[in-house]
Amino acid sequence: MQISARGDYAVRAALSLATAYPSLLSTQAIAAEQDMPRKFLEAVLADLRRAGVVRAQRGAEGGYTLARPPREVTVGAVLRAVEGPLAGVRGLRPEETRYEGAAANLPDLWVAVRAAVRRVVDEVSLAEIVSGRLPAHVRKLTALPDAWEPR
């Protein structure tokens, strides 16, 4: 799975909002805290607002806040808001792929990959990341001997 800059910025912005929840944060404050380009962040926040992940308030005292408490917002919801489906194969959902011959069973693997990604991003809330209390099954993955090794 490849996380784009847009996805990374969205999650980081959502984490800043989770820390401040229920208070409002300006785009300038988020951009400064997370060292992000403000214009790009504004576009990301607009996607999050359209998806119902964040709420915006205009005016001198305006800014952004999460639409729900941080414990109710998953990383998967944030990523989908800016990236679309989590796992795709050449623009198709894994279950839509069809192959012949030796690759006939490949859709099963693509579906399994998506399920594995979901097991992490849909089961970790913003509150858990901010607190450093990741679910046990996620902590176990980070403790695997080769988890931090590039391949």
- Tell me what pLDDT residue 134 has: 96
Residue type at 139? R
Residue 66 backbone dihedrals phi, psi, to 5 degrees: -65, 145
Q: Using 50, 70 and 90 to split pLDDT, how confident is the model at 2?
A: confident
Q: Using 50, 70 and 90 to split pLDDT, how confident is the model at 14?
A: very high
User: Taking the CB of residue 96, how many other CB atoms lie within 10 A of it?
Assistant: 12
Residues 6 or more apart in contact with residue 118 via CB below 8 angstroms: 76, 86
What are the tokens at 39? 């214009």
Confirm if 21 and 13 have CB atoms less than 8 A apart.
no
From 90, 89, 18, 91, select the one nearest 48 (Cα to Cα). Answer: 18
Confirm if 15 and 46 have CB atoms less than 8 A apart.
no
Average pLDDT over residues 12-31: 97
Would you say residue 50 has pLDDT above 80?
yes
Task: List, for residues 73-120, the tens digit of each pLDDT value.
Answer: 999 999 999 999 888 888 889 899 999 999 999 999 999 999 999 999
Protein fold of 5-142: Arc Repressor Mutant, subunit A (1.10.10)
From 71, 75, 86, 59, select the one nearest 13 (Cα to Cα). Answer: 75
Q: pTM for this one? A: 0.91
Average pLDDT over residues 34-49: 97
Q: Using 50, 70 and 90 to split pLDDT, how confident is the model at 69?
A: very high
From 75, 66, 54, 51, select the one nearest 128 (Cα to Cα). Answer: 75
What is the distance between the alpha carbons of residues 65 and 16, in angstroms, rounded to a whole number?
A: 9
